[in-house]
Amino acid sequence: MAQLTQATNAASGILEAADIAPVPLDPDTRAMVDHAFSYHKPEGDQSNRYVAIREAGKAFAEVLLSVCPSSADRTAALRQIQDAVMTANRSIALGGKGMR
């Protein structure tokens, strides 16, 4: 909890230093932000779903590495696979209640 208070104070300090007044958040938006940026311990079959997504992402990455020439485009494609895996896992962790 102390780290959260420190982070909130740091954010407030950044806004103050830039002479920016924070926009007030409605309770639903505040709850959404709090939910999206908190730890969610895996429950039930979530761990198995995370593994399935990671394994599928890894298999796709291996295909790209096998068939695409080394290039900026291949690197971008690999990063997009990483992003897709992380985003899919986040959707599981947040129970579909992420940022909208």
Q: CA torsion sign, 47 to 78 to 95 to 5?
A: positive
Q: How confident is the model at residue 3 (pLDDT cuts 50, 70, 90)?
A: low
Could you give the angle at which helices 72-93 and 46-67 cross, rounded to 10 degrees? 170
Q: Indicate yes or no: pTM above 0.75.
A: no
Span 14-36, average pLDDT: 84
Domains of the chain, residue spans: 25-100
66-78 pLDDT, tens digit each: 999 999 999 999 9
Contact criterion met (CB below 8 Å) for 43 and 37 = no
